[in-house]
Structure 1
Amino acid sequence: MPLGPARVAPSGSLSDVLIGRRAELALLRAVIGSPPSLALIEGEAGIGKSRLVGELFATPGLAGIRRLVGQCEQLQEPLPLSPLLDAFRLAGDELARSRPPNPVVGVLAPLLPELAEHLPPPLPALPDQRAERHRVFRAAVALLDHLGPLVLVLEDVHWADGGTHDFLAFLAAHQPKNVSVILTVRTEVGLLPIREAFARAPSGPARTVSLTPLSLPEVEELAQSILRAELPRTFAAPLYEKTGGIPFVVEEVLRTLLEQLPASEIPGRPDVLAELAVPTVLRDVVRQRLSSLDDPAQEIIGAAAVIGMTPDDHVLAEVTGSGAAGIAKALAQAQAVGLLHEEDGRCRFRHALARQIVYESVPVSGRRLLHLRTAQALESGAAPRPVARLAHHYRQAGRTAEFVGHAEAAADTAFSHGNDATAARFLLQALELGELSREVRVRLAVKLGRAAVDGLAHTEAVPILERLLATEPLPTHLRGELRFALGRLLRQQGETRAGHLQIESAIEDLADRPALLGRALAVLSAPETVVDRHVSEHAARCDQAEEAARRSGDRDVGIAVRIARASLLLEQGDPGSWRLIDELLRDDGLRAAPREHARACLNWAQGALHIGRLERAEALLAEGRQVVDQAEYLRLAEIVELVTAAVDHAAGRWEGLADRARRLEGTGAKVGAASLDRRLLQATLLTATGPAEEATARLGDVIAIAERVGSVWPLIPALMTLSRLLLTLDDAAGAASYATAALAHVRSKGNWVWGAETVLCLVDALDALGEAGEAAELVEELNLGIAGADAPIAQAALLSARAVLARSRDSLEADRLLDAALATLRAAGLRYEEALAAERLGRWRCERSAADGGPLLEGALRLYGGMGADRDIARICRVMRQNGVPIPYPWRGGRPSHGQTLSSREREVALLAAEGRTNQEIATELFLSRRTVESHISSALRKLGLLSRKELSTLLGSDP
C-alpha cells in the first residue's frame, strides 16, 4: 500500500501515525478550542489515552499551546495536590518572566519550594484545616488563571488521592475562563468521585472521550504503519484475535516479532503468532523484552519495578548496590527494547502493565528483600519522608512494626489534610494484621473510628470496632469514643436502631469528655431517626447536650448542639425553629465549618419538606448545594441530589423525576442511611404514575426494611402513602389497617405533625366503612397535637379531616373547611396535595351541581396532567364522566393519536398483564424493556379509566 512520509512517533511508540481516533481527536480539539472546558479521556489500560493527548498537542496550530502535565502515581503520598504541584513545577520559567500572581498564591510557596522565589510570600496558616485546604484550592485555581491560557493535563486520575479528586471538583465549579482541563482515566477502576462535579460544571458538562479497542481493519492499518508493508488478512485476523485490538498490545507483539524476523517477512508468517497464548500475550511480550537484557540489567530493572513507575536513580543505586554507570547502562538497555521510555528527563516504565509484569517476574523472596532495601533507602533520604511509600514497601517486605508505624503516620498526614478516606484506608490495612499489641490496636481503632465516618470505610470499619469492643478491656473514655464512632457508622449504613443503641451505651463512658459527650447527645436528639423514642426524650437529650457543650467550652460543639436543637424544633413545626435557623445561618462559626454548614442546610431542607414549608426547603437546599460545591465536599453530593428530587416532587416538578429517582436508587450509595429515602421517593411516585401493584410492592419493601432497622422516618410516611393508595383502590379496610399502624408510631414518637396525613387517611377509611363517627376523638387528638404548629401539610390535613366529619351534618361547613385546606396547600406550593384536595372538593360540589364542582375537577386534572400522574388522571376522568363534567383535550381520550382506543402494542401488553404476567415476563416475551412495558400499562389504564391492572381482566375481554 502507498505510504506517506514518516514523522516522529510519540515517545516509546512504534507507529508514527495515529490509527482511528479521528472523531475523538476532533472532539478534543473542539474542547480545548473553547475554554473554559473539561474533557475526560477514558478507556482500559493500553488503549491509547496518553497517545491521544500527545497527538492532540502535535496537531499543527496546537504545538505551541501552553500546557501543564501532571502524573498521578499508584502510590501517591497523602499530601495535597501532589500531581498538580508536579505540573506547576514545569512553569518555573513562565513565572520568572510574568507579573506577580494573586497574593493568595503565596499559600502554595511552602508546597513548591522550587518556585518560591517567583511566588508571593507565604500567608499565615489558618487554624481551621478545612479552611486552609479551601484556601489552597483557591490559590491553585488562581495560579492556573495567572498562567493561562493553558491546558492542564492530569494523567491516570484513577490513581489520584481524594484531595486531588476534591480539588478537581472545586476546579470544575470555579474554572478560569482561559483554562481547559483534560484528564485520562481507566474505565476498569470504577466510578470516579469527580464525575458528578464534572457533569454539573458551570461551563457545561465535561466532554467524555471514550476509547474502545481498535477494529480489525484498524489493527491491520496499525500493523502496516509499523511494518511498512501490506498485511494479508491471514495475518491481520490472528493478530487482532491475539491482541484484542488494544493498541499497546499490538505494538508490543510486533516489537517482539521485529526482533525475530525482518519486517518484510512478518506478514507472511502468521504461524509465529500461534505461540503467543491470548491470555498471556502481553506477559510473554514483556518477558521477552526483559530476557533480552543482560543479567545485571535484568536485576536493576526488576528492582526498578519494585521501586515504582518512575524509579529514582539514586534509590535504584542504593537498592541494587550498582554504580551510576551500571544504572545508566541498564536503563539505556531497557529503554532500547521498549520497557522504559523517557518522560520529562526521567526514565519511566512505558506502561503500568509493563511494570507489573516485570515486578511479578522477580521471585517472591527477592521482591521482599528489594522492598526492604527500597524502604530503607527512602527512609534515609531527605525530609519529608514519603510515609505512604514507606508503608507500602515495609508491608510488602513483611516488616510489620515498620509498616504499622508508617501506615499510622500516613493516616495522620492524610487526616491533617482533611483526606479522611485515605486515612481510613491506611488504618484498615494496619488493623488487618493480627499480631498488633493491644495498645497499638486500640490506638489505631480510635483513629479509624474518627476517620471512617467521613472516609466512607463503613463496611470494613464496623466489624473491627465491634470486635475490639467485644474482646478488649478498654479504658472507659476510649470505650465511649469507640461506641460513639461505631454508632455513627451503623447509622450511616442505615442500621438506625443498632446505631442509636450504641450511642446511648456510650453516654455514660463519655461523662469526662464533655466535647464528645455533647456531640453524642446532639445525635441522640434527632427525632426523625429511631422508633420508640418520644420527642420529650429527644428534647431531654438536647438539654443535656447543651450542658455538655457549655462544660467543654468548645465552640464547634456548641454549634453542633444548636443545629440539633433547630432540627428538633423544626420537625415538630415549632415556629421558633426558624429564628434559631436564621441565627445559625448568619453565625460566622457555622460558616467557618463548611461540612457542618452543608449538613445543617440539607437536614433542615428535609425537615422543612416534612412539615410542608416548601419555600424554606428550596432556599435551604440552594444554600446547602452552594456550600457543598464551594467546600468541595463530594461525599454530600448524593444527598444534595436526593433532597433536590424530593423538593421537585413536593413542588410538582415531575418531568424526568421518575428517571432521576430510578438512577438515585441504582447508585451504589455511599451513605446507606439515604437508601430508604430514595426508595420511598420512587415508591411514592409510582403510586401516582405507575401500576398500583408495583407501587404497593415497593412501599411494602420500604416498610419492611424500616421496621427491621427501626427507622421511624420514612416508616410513618410509607405506611401513610400505602394507606392512601389503598383508598384509591377501594380497599378501605386495608387502608384503615396501615393508617392505624402508622398512628401507633406517631403516638410512640409523640409528633403529631408527622401523623396528620395518616389521621386523614384513617378518617377517610372509616368514612368509607360507615364508621366516621368513631374518628371524632382522633381528630381532636390531632388538633391538640399540632396546635400552634407552623406545618402547612398538617394544618391542611386537619382541616380536611374535620371537613369529612362535618359533611354529614353541615355540608356548607364541610365545604368551607375543605376550601381552607385547599387554599393552605396552594399557598404552600404543594401541587400534588393541592390537586388531591381540589379533586375532593370538586367531587363534593358535583353532588350539588356539576357547574359548581366541574372547574375544580378540571383544575385538579390539569395539575395531575402537568405532573404526569397517570393513575390520578384515570381516576379523575372517571369521576368527571360520572358527573357529566366535560373532559378537556388532550385527556378526553388518552393520546390524541389513538383516542380512547388502545394502540396495538398497548393492547398486546394489557392482555398479557390481564393474564397475570409480570412486567419482566411481558418484557421478555415481547422483546421490550421493562420500562417500556410499565409505560404501556400506565397508558392503557389511563385510557380505559382504570385504577389497577387487576381490572384489566374484566375490561379486556371485549372486542377491541
Structure 2
Amino acid sequence: MPRVAPSGSLSDVLIGRGSELSLLRTVIAAPPSLAIVEGEAGIGKSRLVGELLSASGARRLVGQCEQLQEPLPLSPLLDAFRLAGDLIASRPAGPVVGALAPLLPELAGHLPPPLPPLPDQRAERHRVFRAAVALLDHLSPLVLVLEDVHWADGGTHDFLAFLAAHQPRDVAVILTVRTGSGSLPIREAFARAPSGPARVLTLVPLSPPEVEELARSILKAELPRTFAALLYEKTGGIPFVVEEVLRTLLERLPAGEIPGRPDVLSALAVPTVLRDVVLQRLSSLDGAAREILGAAAVIGTTPDDRVLAEVTGRGPLEIAKALASAQAMGLLHEEDGQSRFRHALARQIVYESVTAPERRWLHLRTAQALESGPGPRPVARLAHHFRLAGRTEEFVANAEAAAGTALSHGNDATAARFLLQALEVGSLPRETRVRLAVKLGRVAVDGLAHAEAVPMLERLLATEPLPAHLRGELRFALGRLLRQQGEARAGHLQIERAVGDLGDRPALLGRALAVLAAPETVVDRHVSEHAARCDEAGEAARRSGDPDVDIAVRIARASLLLEQGDPESGRLIDDLLRDDRLRGVPREHARACLNWAQGALHIGRLERAEALLAEGRRVAGQAEYLRVAEVVELVSAAVDRAAGRWDGLEARVRRLGGTPGWAAFPAASMEAGLLLGALLAATGPAEEAVACLGEVIAVAERAGAVWPLIPAKMTLSRLLLTLDDVAGAAEHATAALSLVRAKGNWVWGAETVLCLVDALGRTAGTVELVDELGTGLEGADAPIARAALLTARAVVSQDRPEADGLLDAARTTLQEAGLRYEEAQAAERLGRWRCERGTGDGGPALEAALRLYAAMGADRDLARISRIMRQNGVPIPYPWRGGRPSHGQTLSSREREVALLAAEGKTNQEIATELFLSRRTVESHVSSALRKLGLPSRRELRAQGGLADP
C-alpha cells in the first residue's frame, strides 16, 4: 500500500476535528462517494485527511497539486499512480489503461502497451480520462485524495468532473481546497454526481480551549492562561500557525520552558504560506486603503480609530471605508465593535509590507499620538514605538518605566525583557547603564532571562568601575543565575565574592549568606562551612531588622539540618509553615516546600516529602508561580519513584529531562537524569542506565554540583555490582566516598559505604569504614542511611548471629519508611542470606521481594531474584503480578527467537534490524527472557548456550 506522505504535524493527536473526522469516515465507508474539505490556509485540511488515512485500512492514492505557472496536465493524479507501481504490476489492467503509458514512462513496463495516437486532441484527452478511471477501478477498493485542488490545472479540473460522472463503484474521492481562491470549476460537477452530491466539510479555526489543547499535546506541559490566551490571539486559532509558532519556539527553547515565556511570542517570523495569501489580499485594495491598513498594522492588532486618524491624517469616513474593504477581504474582522486583524501574523505580514523608512515614521507618529491621548501614559506601547522609531532616549525612559509597572504587577519576566532591551542600546550614559543593570539583576532570577542576563552582568562587572555595594549586588544576582543554569561552582564562587562587598547592606548580605548555607549545591565545601555561613546569615538578618530576610535564613537553616538528618529540622519546618510571614510570600513558601521535599527524599523521609510536595504544589498553583512548575513535576516523579508507583513513570521522567538546558531550571535536568538512570538500573536496559548515569556524573563534575554527583556515582556503583564489574563499582564508590568526606555529611554517604563493602567484602579497611559511618550517623534521623548502616554492619560481621537481625532491622526500617524499592532490595538480601547460610527460611523474604519488584516492573531485578530462588529451591509463585503472566515461565516464540540472537552476541539494535522490530521491543523481550530463564545478564545467556525452558 502506498505510504501517505507525512503531514509534518508536531502533534500526534488531532484536536477539535472529531465531527469532521467522523463524517469523512462515513464517506470512505460507503463508496462511491465524494467529499470536499475546504478552509483557509493552515486550517488543517491535510492534517484531517492524514488522520483519516492513518486510521483506515483502506488502500489509498494521494496526489498533490502544486502552485506552478505552467502546471502539467493531470500531474497530481499521475504522481499518485507512480506511487502505486507495485500494485499496478501485481495484476494486468485493461487495454485502455495503455493510454497512460506515454505519461508514465517509469511504469510503462507494468502497463498495457501504448495505444495508437488519435488525431483529435479532445478524443485523446477523453481516452486518457477513461484510462485513468479504468486504472482507479483496477486498483480499487481505494480512497483517492487530491490535495490543494485550487492549484490544479484546467485539465485536472476537467478530469475530476469526468470522474464524478463515471466514478468506479469502490472508489471514494476526497479533495482539499483552500477557501478564498475563487470559484472552483468542479463544484457543480461534484454536486450533481450520479453517486450523490459531494459532502462539503468547511473547517473553521480552533477555539481557545482547542488551541490550548493542541499546544499542550505538542509541549507535553500544562499551559498558563496568559500563554494560552496570547497564543490564540497570535494565531487566530489556525492550527498550522499554532504549530509553526511552537515549532519556531522549539528551535530556540526547550519545550518545558516555553509555557513560562509568553514574551517570546512577539518576535516570530511569519510562515511563508500565510504571507503569500495575505499579500495577495492586500494587493487587491486601493492605494489609500493599503496606506491606512499599513498604519493600522504599525499601531497594533486592534488599531484605535483616533490614533489611526491622527497618524494617517485621514478623515473618519475614509478610514471606515478602508477598514471595511480590508474586512471584506478577510484581513480584518469585527470583534466587540472594533476592527481587528484576522490574527496577529496577518498583521505582521501587512506590517512588513510597509517600507522600513515609512515604518519608522509611522512608529514615531503613533508614539506621539499615544502620548497626547487621554488616561495614563501607555509606557509599554510607547517604549515599543519609540524603539522602532529609532528614538533611543525616549525608548529607554519608557522601557524603564514599563519594567517598573511590570514589577508592580509581579511580572518579573516582562520587567526583565524591558530592561534587557534598554541595556542593548549602545549609547547609554554610564549611570543609566549601571542603574538598569542593577534592576535587571534583581528581577532576572525570577524573570527567566538567565541566558540574556548572564553575559550582560558579566560584561558590566568586567568593564565598569562600580561602587562596592552595587558590585556586590550584581555578583549576588549573577551567582544565583549561574546556579540556576546548573553552574554550581561558578555561581557559588560569585556569591562568595559578593559577600565581601555587602557589609554595608545587611539585608542583601543575609540573603547571600543564606544561599551559601545550602549544602547540596557545590563540592569542596564542608557542612561546617555551610553552618558557619548560616550563623553569619542569622547575624546579618538581625542587623537588617528585615523580617523577610529572617524568614530566608530560617528556611536555609531548616534545609541545612534536614539534609544532615537532624531531627531539629522537623520542628523548624513546622514553625515556618505556621508562620504568617512565610505564608505572606507565596513564592518563597512554594520554593521552600519543594526544596524541603527534595531534602526529605534525600534522607528517606517519604511521608514528609509527600506532604511538603502537596503544600508546595498548592501554593505554587494558587500564586500561579509558573517558574517552579517543572520542579513540582520533578519532585512528584521522585516521590512516586520512592513510593514504588512506577507505572508510566519512566515516560514521565524522559519527558521531564529529555531536553538539554531544561526549562526554567537547567540544573534540574541533572536530577531528572539521575532519576531516569535509577529507574533504568532496575528496569533495563542496563547499557542505557550506565550511559545515563555516566552523563549525569560528567555534567555534575563539570559544574561542580555535589548533588546529584554523589548519588549518581553510588547508583552506578550498585548497577555495576549487578553486572559483576566489581572493580568499576569499587572505583565509583571510592570516588563518591571522597566527595562525602569532603562534604562531611555521612547521611549522603551511607549507601556509598554499603556499595564499597559489597564490592570489597570484609577487610580491615571496610570494618573501619563502617565504624566511621556509624560515628558520622550518630543522632541522625535518616531511614535510608540507617538501613544502609545496618546492612553494612551485617556484611562485615560475616556469619555472626547478629547479621540476620541487622538485615531484618534494615528491611523493617525501609518498610516503615514506605521506600518500596529499597525495601525489596533489603528483603532480597535477607532472603538470600538466610537461604545460603541456613540461618532460617529465606523463602518468604525472597517471595516478598519478588512481588515488590514485579509490582514496580523492575525486570532486571526480577531476572536476578528468579535465578536466586531457583538456585535455592524456593518455588516461584506465578502469577506474581496479580494477573496472568504471559506464557508463565515458558519463553514465547518471539522471546526465544530474540534470546537465541542475543546468545549469539548480537546487540539489541542488530536484533531489531534483523527481525524488523523496534529496539524498545527487543529490550523488552530480552528482559522477559532473562527473567524467565533466571539469568541476571546477557553474559550468562551467552554462557548458557541452550535455551531450554525452565
Aligned to 2:861: 872
1:893–1:943: 8 Å Cα contact kept in structure 2?
Answer: no
Aligned to 1:434: 426
Equivalent residue for 2:630, pick from 638, 644, 658: 638
Deviation at 1:285, TM superposition (A): 4.6
How far apart, CA to CA, are the structure 1 residues paired with 2:712 and 2:271? 52
Aligned to 1:253: 181
How far apart, CA to CA, are the structure 1 residues paired with 2:627 and 2:163? 48
1:47–1:246: 8 Å Cα contact kept in structure 2?
Answer: no
The correspondence of residues 168-183 of structure 1 with structure 2, limited to 5 A, is: none
How far apart, CA to CA, are the structure 2 residues paired with 1:658 and 1:831? 16
Aligned to 1:95: none
User: Counterpart of 2:756 in 1: which secondary structure?
Assistant: helix
The amino acid of 1:577's aligned partner reads S
Pair 750,848 (structure 1): closer, same or farther in 2 beyond 3 Å: closer
Aligned to 2:362: 370
Equivalent residue for 2:560, pick from 568, 584, 598: 568
User: Which string of whole-angstrom CA distances, capped at 9 and with x for unpartnered residues, describes residues 893-941 of structure 1?
Assistant: 9984434443333344444545555545544554433432332222122
Pair 219,697 (structure 1): closer, same or farther in 2 beyond 3 Å: closer
The amino acid of 1:782's aligned partner reads L
Aligned to 2:716: 722
1:693–1:948: 8 Å Cα contact kept in structure 2?
Answer: no
User: Counterpart of 2:435 in 1: which secondary structure?
Assistant: helix
Aligned to 2:674: 680
Aligned to 1:193: none
Pair 262,307 (structure 1): closer, same or farther in 2 beyond 3 Å: farther
Is structure 2 residue 935 aligned with structure 1 residue 946?
yes
* Larger-Rg structure: 2
Deviation at 1:731, TM superposition (A): 2.6
User: Counterpart of 2:747 in 1: which secondary structure?
Assistant: helix
Deviation at 1:415, TM superposition (A): 1.4
User: Which string of whole-angstrom CA distances, capped at 9 and with x for unpartnered residues, describes residues 714-754 of structure 1?
Assistant: 11111111111222223323222211111101100000111
Pair 821,297 (structure 1): closer, same or farther in 2 beyond 3 Å: closer
Q: TM-score, normalised by structure 1?
A: 0.71
2:511–2:537: 8 Å Cα contact kept in structure 1?
Answer: yes
How far apart, CA to CA, are the structure 1 residues paired with 2:18 and 2:831? 62
Deviation at 1:291, TM superposition (A): 3.6
Aligned to 1:23: 19
Pair 847,48 (structure 1): closer, same or farther in 2 beyond 3 Å: closer
Aligned to 1:203: none
How far apart, CA to CA, are the structure 2 residues paired with 1:850 and 1:885? 15
User: Which string of whole-angstrom CA distances, capped at 9 and with x for unpartnered residues, describes residues 283-320 of structure 1?
Assistant: 45544443443333322222112111221111011111
Deviation at 1:957, TM superposition (A): 5.7
Deviation at 1:687, TM superposition (A): 1.1
User: Which string of whole-angstrom CA distances, capped at 9 and with x for unpartnered residues, describes residues 475-530 of structure 1?
Assistant: 21111111111111111111111111111111011111111111111000000110
2:419–2:436: 8 Å Cα contact kept in structure 1?
Answer: yes
The correspondence of residues 194-273 of structure 1 with structure 2, limited to 5 A, is: 233=160, 250-254=178-182
The amino acid of 1:498's aligned partner reads A
How far apart, CA to CA, are the structure 2 residues paired with 1:900 and 1:336? 72
How far apart, CA to CA, are the structure 1 residues paired with 2:702 and 2:151? 61
Is structure 2 residue 784 aligned with structure 1 residue 793?
yes
Equivalent residue for 1:465, pick from 452, 457, 467: 457
How far apart, CA to CA, are the structure 2 residues paired with 1:629 and 1:409? 29
- C-alpha root-mean-square deviation of aligned residues, in Å? 3.4
User: Which string of whole-angstrom CA distances, capped at 9 and with x for unpartnered residues, describes residues 870-909 of structure 1?
Assistant: 1111111111111111111136999844344433333444
Aligned to 1:619: 611
The amino acid of 1:761's aligned partner reads C
Is structure 2 residue 707 aligned with structure 1 residue 780?
no
User: Which string of whole-angstrom CA distances, capped at 9 and with x for unpartnered residues, describes residues 327-382 of structure 1?
Assistant: 22322333344433322222222343432332222111111111111111111112
Aligned to 2:701: 707
Equivalent residue for 2:640, pick from 631, 634, 648: 648
Pair 368,756 (structure 1): closer, same or farther in 2 beyond 3 Å: same
How far apart, CA to CA, are the structure 2 residues paired with 1:279 and 1:573? 56
The amino acid of 2:366's aligned partner reads T
Aligned to 1:860: 849
Aligned to 1:449: 441
- Worse overlay, 281-290 or 492-501: 281-290
The correspondence of residues 481-520 of structure 1 with structure 2, limited to 5 A, is: 481-520=473-512
Pairs aligned (count): 730
Q: Which runs of 5+ in 1 are unaligned?
A: 1-19, 28-42, 53-214, 225-229, 238-243, 268-277
The amino acid of 1:870's aligned partner reads D
- Worse overlay, 419-428 or 429-438: 429-438
- Worse overlay, 403-412 or 306-315: 403-412
1:874–1:941: 8 Å Cα contact kept in structure 2?
Answer: yes
Equivalent residue for 1:406, pick from 391, 398, 403: 398
Equivalent residue for 2:818, pick from 814, 829, 832: 829
The amino acid of 1:836's aligned partner reads Q
1:723–1:739: 8 Å Cα contact kept in structure 2?
Answer: yes
Deviation at 1:236, TM superposition (A): 12
Pair 780,337 (structure 1): closer, same or farther in 2 beyond 3 Å: closer
User: Counterpart of 1:341 in 2: which secondary structure?
Assistant: strand
User: Which string of whole-angstrom CA distances, capped at 9 and with x for unpartnered residues, describes residues 443-465 of structure 1?
Assistant: 22222222221121211211111
How far apart, CA to CA, are the structure 2 residues paired with 1:647 and 1:703? 22
The amino acid of 2:887's aligned partner reads H
User: Which string of whole-angstrom CA distances, capped at 9 and with x for unpartnered residues, describes residues 408-438 of structure 1?
Assistant: 2222111111111111222222222322222
How far apart, CA to CA, are the structure 1 residues paired with 2:931 and 2:324? 75
User: Counterpart of 1:348 in 2: which secondary structure?
Assistant: strand
Aligned to 1:34: none
Aligned to 2:254: none
**Higher relative contact order (CA closer than 8 Å, sequence separation 6+):** 1
How far apart, CA to CA, are the structure 2 residues paired with 1:854 and 1:308? 75
Pair 387,234 (structure 1): closer, same or farther in 2 beyond 3 Å: farther
The amino acid of 1:887's aligned partner reads I
User: Counterpart of 1:252 in 2: which secondary structure?
Assistant: coil
Pair 231,665 (structure 1): closer, same or farther in 2 beyond 3 Å: farther
How far apart, CA to CA, are the structure 1 residues paired with 2:163 and 2:352? 30
Deviation at 1:22, TM superposition (A): 6.0
Aligned to 2:737: 743
How far apart, CA to CA, are the structure 2 residues paired with 1:412 and 1:880? 69
- Worse overlay, 647-656 or 426-435: 426-435
Equivalent residue for 1:755, pick from 730, 749, 756: 749
1:253–1:285: 8 Å Cα contact kept in structure 2?
Answer: no
1:252–1:285: 8 Å Cα contact kept in structure 2?
Answer: no
Deviation at 1:21, TM superposition (A): 4.5
Pair 292,883 (structure 1): closer, same or farther in 2 beyond 3 Å: closer
Aligned to 2:138: none
Pair 824,958 (structure 1): closer, same or farther in 2 beyond 3 Å: closer
Equivalent residue for 1:883, pick from 856, 872, 887: 872
Identical-pair percentage: 77
The amino acid of 1:931's aligned partner reads R
How far apart, CA to CA, are the structure 2 residues paired with 1:311 and 1:262? 40
Pair 337,619 (structure 1): closer, same or farther in 2 beyond 3 Å: closer
1:223–1:231: 8 Å Cα contact kept in structure 2?
Answer: no
User: Counterpart of 2:179 in 1: which secondary structure?
Assistant: helix
1:893–1:900: 8 Å Cα contact kept in structure 2?
Answer: no
The amino acid of 2:386's aligned partner reads Y
Equivalent residue for 1:817, pick from 803, 806, 812: 806
The correspondence of residues 541-552 of structure 1 with structure 2, limited to 5 A, is: 541-552=533-544
1:894–1:939: 8 Å Cα contact kept in structure 2?
Answer: no
How far apart, CA to CA, are the structure 2 residues paired with 1:292 and 1:45? 18
How far apart, CA to CA, are the structure 2 residues paired with 1:517 and 1:725? 44
Aligned to 1:99: none
The amino acid of 1:484's aligned partner reads F
Pair 885,424 (structure 1): closer, same or farther in 2 beyond 3 Å: same
Pair 320,866 (structure 1): closer, same or farther in 2 beyond 3 Å: same
Deviation at 1:282, TM superposition (A): 5.0
- Worse overlay, 922-931 or 946-955: 922-931
